[in-house]
Structure 1
Amino acid sequence: MTEIFNIDGSVLEGGGQILRNSISLSAILGIPVKVSNIRVRRSKPGLAAQHLKGIQLVAQMCQGRLRGANIGSTEIEFVPGRIRGGHYVADTQTAGSISLLLQVALPCALLADSPVTLDLKGGTNADMAPQIDYMDKIFRKILNQFGADFSMQIIRRGYFPRGGGHVRVEVNPVTLFKGINILDRGVLKAITGWSFVAGTLPVKLSYQMSDGARQALSGYTTNIHCYKEERQMAPDNCTGIILSCEFSKDCVVGADALGKRGLDSVDVGRKAGEELRKVLESSSCVDLHAQDQVILYMCLAEGKSTLRIGEVTLHTETAMHIAQLITKTKFTINQEGDSNVIECSGIGFVNKKIPE
């Protein structure tokens, strides 16, 4: 057996992202890993349900072996097998984020030996994670730049605290990821938004969130769709807003916010609008949600990738650290005015499992 690769889960951001990226790269490259000190600085250290279900999902996809994977565990060992296509189910049984399940499983599914169907259950619109609509409407378009894609069906919405959401994702594998060169986003084409309420909450709250976003984006033309989710689709209470901004050179950036008890709906919308405005008034070609997510794809891609971002987040620094440790690639960051350019010569990983 290949010698196991040790990863300290407490470095830099020290959260679940280290675990997700380590497990994804382990499965793709066939490198056994031991991740220790998992989330040790969090108020509830170790694996939460969504972390556990995510790594169990990848283990299922590649018939890998997991040791020490329990709720609260701060150390796990993972020995991957071959990533296979097929139908896989992961259920957090909580409001744990479906988007975070997708983050760990999607790179593996894209490099499987045949098409993959993922039935993911938990929270569709959860705090401290991208809303599932962001993954579909914004991140999917960014992934297209790497020559990859997926389709998504939201079967049922799930919100805090009960969860119960259900999303089906269909993935066709690729032979390799193309390098990206995203330095100029072009001119602004459109700002679109979706402002929703669900459960017993009145639809007027969606209009209030839209008003807040428009106030924050004054001077820009916006088209925000306000609506109430069907009761059958979303029985529990929730409010939220997702904003998307498209540019002429296929760049897409976004922002989102969720309502909470006691928060004014106008302020919720304003928060999302202010977040998007910061990106608009910079020269960044991706938003904060996507910035760290693309690092894994850059390190695996063919050839040199370059990406213009704004401020380098701690999540992005952490993603680069893990990618460099496992793949031996090197990332560089060059400051150019109000932006930073990330460069990486990817390893050009070829998926040889796809039949000729």
Structure 2
Amino acid sequence: MIEVDGSFGEGGGQILRTLLTFSALTGTPFRLNNIRGNRPKPGLQRSHLSAVNAVASVCDASVKGNVLGSRTLEFRPSRIKEPLKLVIDVGTAGSATLILQSLIPLMIGRKITVTIKGGTDVPKSPTSDYMSCVFMGIMERVGIKGEIGVVRRGYYPRGGGEVIASDFRGGGEFSILRMGDVKKVVVMSHVTWLPVEIAKREAKAASEELSNFPVEVKIKEEKGTGKGTATLVYLEGESVIGADSLGAIGKRAEEVGKEAASHVLSDYRTGGAVDSFMGDMLMVYASLFGGEYKGSSLTCHAKTNAQVIKMFGVDLEINGVSPFTVKVRRPLVSGIN
């Protein structure tokens, strides 16, 4: 059994999510102590508990400590089940996309459909548009296809959104080291139960930041269980680099658009081939299939993710900081549960 202190590195939910994924994939049990030890409110919150219970359902795990507020978790996986239709109701605005991060690697090549009810566009997590456009764009370059659909949006604090993920398949050794020439730039702004003019202002501000590129603007009026808005900006070349920004009370629409565009440009200018968010997410897939990539900035999340992944015997090498490269020479493909 692997024993982990949950206060190391970024000391948050990323440690738990990565442990769950690799435990289920390899059949390796773990015990996590001091869960989210570096957070103001440590222990399992609803979104983390939902991730634990979801992965446990997929791999028929025996679990101890899966209660709200728990600071210790013991997880003993069995075989991954299929066919399976899993419905997860977080009950709050807990991030549906972060829960998907733990589940998608388990779904590849299996008849598993997941429906998650919770927050689709909430702070400190990728938005559903980021997952559909940027994450899936990178997955295509890994040889993975799949579907991520938004039934309705859910925002903080109410939640109530719904995302469905299914039909994930493929995957193989990959090399994503160059962004190359930018062939496409998209600004995607949406509103739910707010004036569409807000989305147009966000998109205009983002486009002005991206004045050196021809920009394709997409404005959407969405369904959801509360008011909200967000902007996603992404650049597409040999790879995809993106960033999003959420609206908030007192935050001007122009600030939302400018924030997303500025973050994308900052990552792009490092010479990396993937953005700072994908820099840690892609590490999982390099570990599964073998591969290499160049990230824009080595974040604390990415460094922590690497440490957790190495606990499962993955030969993972990181060089540099901004940009940085990741190379996996001994992937898990032959050792997947």
Q: TM-score, normalised by structure 2?
A: 0.95
Return the offset for 1:136: 1.0
Measure the CA separation in 2 of the matches of 1:5 and 1:157. 37
C-alpha contact (below 8 Å) 2:47/2:95 kept by paired residues = yes
C-alpha contact (below 8 Å) 1:332/1:344 kept by paired residues = no
Return the offset for 1:36: 0.9
Q: Does 1:261 align with 2:249?
A: yes
One-letter amino acid of the counterpart of residue 12, structure 2: G
Aligned alpha-carbon RMSD (Å): 1.6
- Name the counterpart of 2:86: 88
* 1:195 equivalent among 189, 193, 216: 189
Q: Deviations over 1:230-272 (max 9, x none)?
A: xxx224110110112110x2x1111100000001110111000
The 5 A counterparts of 1:323-334 are 323-334=309-320
Q: Deviations over 1:290-327 (max 9, x none)?
A: 1100111112214xx22112221111101110011122
Return the offset for 1:173: 4.5
- Name the counterpart of 2:107: 109
Measure the CA separation in 1 of the matches of 2:87 and 2:36. 25
Measure the CA separation in 2 of the matches of 1:28 and 1:227. 38
Measure the CA separation in 2 of the matches of 1:327 and 1:171. 28
Q: Secondary structure at the match of 2:150?
A: strand
Return the offset for 1:184: 1.6
C-alpha contact (below 8 Å) 1:21/1:322 kept by paired residues = yes
Matched residues, number: 336
Where do 4+ consecutive residues of structure 1 move more than 3 Å? 350-353
One-letter amino acid of the counterpart of residue 229, structure 2: T
Measure the CA separation in 2 of the matches of 1:319 and 1:295. 8
Q: Does 1:270 align with 2:266?
A: no
Q: Secondary structure at the match of 1:212?
A: helix
C-alpha contact (below 8 Å) 1:45/1:72 kept by paired residues = yes
C-alpha contact (below 8 Å) 1:55/1:104 kept by paired residues = no
- Name the counterpart of 2:207: 214
- Name the counterpart of 2:224: 234
Q: Does 1:140 align with 2:136?
A: yes
Return the offset for 1:352: 7.4
One-letter amino acid of the counterpart of residue 179, structure 1: E
Measure the CA separation in 2 of the matches of 1:24 and 1:202. 40
- Name the counterpart of 2:173: 179
Q: Deviations over 1:140-187 (max 9, x none)?
A: 12122222221122111111111111111113445xx42221112221
The 5 A counterparts of 1:229-308 are 229=222, 233-247=223-237, 249=238, 251-302=239-290, 305-308=291-294
Return the offset for 1:42: 1.0
**Residues 1:173 and 1:207: Cα distance change in structure 2 (over 3 Å):** closer
One-letter amino acid of the counterpart of residue 194, structure 1: M
Return the offset for 1:72: 0.8
Q: TM-score, normalised by structure 1?
A: 0.90
The 5 A counterparts of 1:119-134 are 119-134=115-130
Segment drifting more, 20-29 vs 180-189: 180-189
Gaps of 5+ in 2: none
One-letter amino acid of the counterpart of residue 190, structure 1: K
* 1:16 equivalent among 13, 18, 23: 13
Return the offset for 1:334: 4.2
Return the offset for 1:202: 1.2
Q: Secondary structure at the match of 1:228?
A: strand
Measure the CA separation in 2 of the matches of 1:348 and 1:95. 33
Q: Deviations over 1:42-88 (max 9, x none)?
A: 11111110000011001001111110111111110000010112101
